[in-house]
Structure formats: C-alpha cells, structure tokens
Amino acid sequence: KNQINQIIREEETKRETHEHIVDSVDLFLFLSLLILVILTIWFLKHKKFKYVHETGLAIFYGSIFGALIRYVFKDNQKRSIFFTPANLTLNSIDDLPEYVYMSIPNLTQNFVYKFKEPSSDTSSMVSRDFEEKVTFNPETFFNILLPPIIFQAGYSMKRKQFFKNFGAILMFALIGTTISSFVIGGLMYWVVSWQKSLGYMKFLDCLLFGSIVSATDPVTTLSIFSDQNLDLSLYSLIFGESVLNDAVSLILVQQIEKFSGNSLEAGQFFRAIGSFFVIFLGSILVGSLVGCTNAILTKFTKIKHHPSLETALFILISYSAFYASEAIGLSGIVTMLIAGIFQAHYTFNNLSVDSKFQTRQIFHLISFLSENFIFIYIGISMFTFRNHQWEAGFILPSLIVILFGRAVNIYPLSYLINLTRSSSNKIKLKNQNLMFFSGLRGALAFGLAIRNTSTSSRQLILTTTSVIVIITVVFFGGMTKKVIELLNIESADSTADKVDKDKNQKIKGKFKAFLSKLVIFKLLRSLDKKFVKPFLTNSRPTLIDNLPNKLLPIARLLTTIEQIEENDGFNEENFLINDSRGQFENISIN
C-alpha cells in the first residue's frame, strides 16, 4: 500500500513537470506567432503592400497554427471516465457539486476534480493535452485583453469631433444596433423555420445571434481605419458608433439571456429597456468617477516627483475601472472608454512629462499586442474548438442577413440625422456607403459567442459568428483602402478648412429634442471649461480666476502652486507620438 502511494507521489511530480513543459511550449508558440505577425507587418509596410491588413494576417497565422495542432501534432489523448452519483438530486445549479473526490481503494490520497462545464455530447470526451491548453478561458479574453484596447481608444481619441457628432453616434449606437439586432434575429428565425434540422434554434436563440453580430467592433475598426487618414468627422462617426454599440449589444445579450425560457411579456420588455439605461448611465458614472479620482490624486499630491510611481498608479487605476464596473454588474467597456476620455481630458494635464510619454506609449503597446493576440486566437479556435456546428443552411443566409441588418441601421438613420443638419454638414451618401462597408465584426462578437457553448444552438452561434468575423475582417478589412479610393472619400487634410467653417453652422432642427440636447452639451462644455477643468487639473485658468469672490477661500484651497505658476504655453505644446504603424501622429494635449 505504501509503495503505491509512493509511486503516485513520484508520478505526480512527473505530471507537474510535464504540465509545466506543455505550458512553456504553449506560451512560446503564442509569442512566436506574435513575433511572426509583427515581422510580416513590418515587411508589408516596407514593401508598401496594400491589400492585406494586420488583423487578417493574425487570423491567417492563427488558423494555420490551429490546423497544425488539430491535424498534425497528435499529442497524448487523456483518459476519461463516467460515473453516476448514487443519491444526488439536482433541482437547481446550486445543488451541483463544485468538486468531485475520487477515492481509490488502497490509496491514502484522494484525487480532486473541479467542475469545468456541462457537456451535451460525448464526442468531446476525447480531449487532447495541447489542444486544451491553447484554448484559453473566455474570461481571460474579457478581463485581460479587452480593457487596454478600449481604454487606449478613449485615451487617444480625438475628443472634439467625437463630442461634436455625439448625437449622431448615440443614434447609430443605441437605436441602430437595436434595429439591427431585431431585424437579423427575425430574418434568421424565418430562415430557420424552413429547415427541420435547425429546430433547436428558438426565436430567442436567433435574437441572441442578432444581438451578438450587431456589434461592429472597435478593435478591428480602430486598427483598420486609423491607418487611413480619414476625414475626422467621418472617422469619429465610424469609431464612436463601434465603441458604443458594443455596450448596446452586450447589454442586449444579457437581457435576452434573462428572458430565455420565458415568453416575452410587455412588462419584462420595458423593464429590460429600463435596466439598459441604468447600466449605460451607471457605467458612464463609474468611468468618470475613476477618471476624476486619478485627476485629483495627481493634482493634489506630489507623486509627480516620482514619475515611475505616477505611471504605475495611472495604469493601475485605469485598469481598475473595468473591474469595478463589471463587479457591480455594469458594462466595463463603456466605463473603460469614459475613463480613457476623462484621463486624457483631465489627468493627462497633471502628469509629469515622463509619465505623459510613458502612459501613451505603454497603453499603445499593450493594446497593439492584445489586439493581435485576439485575432491569432480567433484563427486558432476555428480549428481547435471541438463543437463547431457547420450548418450551411444557417451560416450562408446569415452572411446576407447581416448586410441587410447593417443597411437598415445606416441608411434610414442617416436620413433622419441629415434632416437635423445644415447642408454643409450632412452625412453624404458616399460616407454612408463607407459606414455600411465598415461594419466589421470582430473580437467582441467572438468573445460574446464563445462565452457559452453548452448547447447546440450556442455552438451554431459560435461557428457562424467565427465565420462572419473572419470574412468581414479579411475581406472587408483588406478591401477598405480600395473602397475609400473608389468612393473618393475626402481625407482629413482636405476637410480641415471646412471643419472651421462649420463651427458657425446653424442648426435648422426639425427635432426640437436634438436642439435641446445640443444646448445641454453647450452648457456642459462651458461648465467643464470654467469649473471642472480648473478644479481637476493643473492647467490654467485657475478656480481663483473663475469662481465668484465669495468662494475665494475654497478656490485657494483647490488651486495648487504649480497651477498658478503654470506656463500657459506648455499645455498647448504638441506631443509627437509614434504609432505602431510607424506614422507620426500629432496629439494635442488639450
């Protein structure tokens, strides 16, 4: 008996060593793929080759790697056993044991097994060592890779154009995405109803699919369109929509998941809309609170004298916004975007010169790597994910349906928005066409789809979403440059004069609501300029200048010496930041 125990103990050490080596090989291969992608990006840049984009490259390399793992490297198959517990009644998931202890006669040790997932088929019983390792947890994807990408988007955003187009962006994101979800969901349900073999796709499954694929992706959009020197107003529309509709899509998916099993009732429907707004506004609140906290910390302490500590603090606080938001059930993505914008608008002014550079560069680098890692992973999972459902009767129609869903979002809403805009400022038809074309689906859709694959319908959703992501990214992404040329879209430079003229545009609003919203925006802007920015940053003017004389003691308390001594010229200074594409981007500090 002792001898068997001894053997098991030794073997356990061997098993751990083996596990460690597999982990190392796994990480080494992922890094090698990333290195390969970077070298190819550089090579294509060097040769000025236009029609392949880095996201497409990453997916391509990932797929090759995935196929190799699946079909070439035949590593050890692991043994599995079945058992039926004697007296376990399962009325709810809380009754499901988290751990199973296997005890074996003769051995003093038990073997602990931890719950992993429910599984509806037995084909996945054959599991292979390495394949399992490369298929990482969707949680990792959400918690580690996504936040820096979204934060970087907010932190490096051209805020002026974003806020100028805020009404239109909100309309496309909120209303457009909802329309698109229901149109795609409805049409797909109609498609499904013709096919007996797809009987497991219920209406709510189709609606879920619609919501998942309605989110155009900021990751892909950012990385493809930021290269293009596009008219800033158009860029902010495309990018702004893609960021905010993620949140919309995410919340829609959550609400639909709550419904499933129940029939749709009007009461529930309105409650869903209510909780949608609570989540949306709550997320914005958390993001702005985190941004302000960081601004206050950097303004009123002297941590500036230790730039490395300051940079570390800035990064940690920014990241924590995401988790704080998710922890209380809000949308981390919206929070992260808002935190990024607030940090850029307020905190950035208080940082030491070192930290200004470092924070920009580090977030740029992290988001660049995360992005490529995600696309490599999408490629890999096409082959290593075991439960793909290849149903041509669903996948092929979906490709046409999503185009239609995109069209009923962009064109009717553009028409409505144009009704409120001056003639010089309307969204031109060719720009609408580009917006239609820019509906790339990417990392977020994939992330939502892979999160739950416990049923056949969920598996079909994952397979279809993966196909849509790859096709839109590789095909639409690769064609973007060509399409911009074909559509004769204006570049940022050629519209620069116009933007100035537009400042004096008159809004002949047909929708009074829009007008009032703009008044609110104006009010917010002047509030920010007069009070919030002087309070939160070290830039001029100070609160002493702007607050009424009565409040002078408070104003003095909230004004630092640095702020009074501030050289007005400094804040106007422009930073030259070198982006991953080797272009110099001119980033104004204000």
Tell me which of 285, 579, 589, 590 binds its own copies, using CB under 8 A.
579
Residue ranges in 282-301 that form contacts with its own copies under rule CB under 8 A: 301
Minimum CB–partner distance for residue 129 and its own copies (Å):
8
By beta-carbon proximity to its own copies, the closer residue of 313 and 479 is 313
Minimum CB–partner distance for residue 572 and its own copies (Å):
23
**103 DSSP β-pair partners:** 110
What is the separation, in whole angstroms, between the first and last Cα of the chain?
A: 74
In this chain, which stretch among 65-73, 99-107, 175-183, 382-390 interacts with its own copies, using CB under 8 A? 99-107
Is 19 a binding residue for its own copies by CB under 8 A? The answer is yes
Tell me which of 51, 109, 277, 572 binds its own copies, using CB under 8 A.
109
Alpha-carbon dihedral angle through residues 80, 86, 92, 93, given to the nearest 10 degrees: -30
Is 50 a binding residue for its own copies by CB under 8 A? The answer is no
Other beta carbons less than 10 A from residue 525's beta carbon: 11
Residue type, 382: M
Is 42 a binding residue for its own copies by CB under 8 A? The answer is yes
By beta-carbon proximity to its own copies, the closer residue of 112 and 266 is 112
Range 435-467 burial, b when 16+ CB lie within 10 A, else e? bebbbbbbbbbbbbbbbbbeebbbbbbbbbbbb
In this chain, which stretch among 93-101, 182-190, 217-225, 493-501 interacts with its own copies, using CB under 8 A? 93-101
Minimum CB–partner distance for residue 193 and its own copies (Å):
20
Q: How far is CA 332 from CA 173, 178, 246, 270, in A?
A: 17, 20, 11, 23
Residue ranges in 321-350 that form contacts with its own copies under rule CB under 8 A: 322-324, 326-327, 329, 332
Is 573 a binding residue for its own copies by CB under 8 A? The answer is no
Alpha-carbon dihedral angle through residues 491, 493, 497, 498, given to the nearest 10 degrees: 10
Residue ranges in 476-535 that form contacts with its own copies under rule CB under 8 A: none
Residue ranges in 432-471 that form contacts with its own copies under rule CB under 8 A: 451-452, 454-455
Tell me which of 49, 50, 74, 80 binds its own copies, using CB under 8 A.
80
Tell me which of 317, 382, 413, 448 binds its own copies, using CB under 8 A.
317
| DSSP of 521-532 | HHHHHHHIIIII
By beta-carbon proximity to its own copies, the closer residue of 184 and 315 is 315
Minimum CB–partner distance for residue 588 and its own copies (Å):
20
Minimum CB–partner distance for residue 506 and its own copies (Å):
43
**586 DSSP β-pair partners:** 576
Minimum CB–partner distance for residue 143 and its own copies (Å):
6
Is 263 a binding residue for its own copies by CB under 8 A? The answer is no
Is 16 a binding residue for its own copies by CB under 8 A? The answer is yes
Interatomic CA distance for residues 582 and 590, integer angstroms: 23
Structural contact between residues 307 and 354, judged by C-beta atoms closer than 8 angstroms: yes
Interatomic CA distance for residues 172 and 507, integer angstroms: 20
In this chain, which stretch among 118-126, 174-182, 230-238, 280-288 interacts with its own copies, using CB under 8 A? 118-126
Minimum CB–partner distance for residue 319 and its own copies (Å):
6
Structural contact between residues 449 and 212, judged by C-beta atoms closer than 8 angstroms: yes
Interatomic CA distance for residues 471 and 448, integer angstroms: 18
Residue ranges in 21-40 that form contacts with its own copies under rule CB under 8 A: 21, 23-25, 27-28, 31-32, 34-35, 38-39
Contacts of 376 (CB under 8 A, 6+ apart): 30, 33, 34, 37, 58, 59, 61, 62, 65
Is 6 a binding residue for its own copies by CB under 8 A? The answer is yes
Tell me which of 68, 107, 273, 554 binds its own copies, using CB under 8 A.
107
Minimum CB–partner distance for residue 362 and its own copies (Å):
6
Coil/strand/helix, residue 573: coil
Q: Which long-range contacts (CB under 8 A, 24 or more apart) does 310-317 make?
A: 310/351, 310/352, 310/354, 310/355, 311/354, 311/355, 311/358, 311/359, 311/362, 314/343, 314/347, 314/351, 314/355, 314/359, 315/359, 315/362, 315/363, 317/290, 317/293
By beta-carbon proximity to its own copies, the closer residue of 200 and 404 is 200
By beta-carbon proximity to its own copies, the closer residue of 7 and 486 is 7
Is 104 a binding residue for its own copies by CB under 8 A? The answer is yes
Residue ranges in 358-417 that form contacts with its own copies under rule CB under 8 A: 358, 361-362, 364-365, 368-369
Alpha-carbon dihedral angle through residues 578, 581, 586, 588, given to the nearest 10 degrees: -80
Other beta carbons less than 10 A from residue 535's beta carbon: 21
In this chain, which stretch among 174-182, 433-441, 556-564, 573-581 interacts with its own copies, using CB under 8 A? 573-581
Structural contact between residues 237 and 209, judged by C-beta atoms closer than 8 angstroms: no
In the chain, the largest separation of any two C-alpha atoms, in whole Å, equals 90
Minimum CB–partner distance for residue 451 and its own copies (Å):
7
Minimum CB–partner distance for residue 504 and its own copies (Å):
38
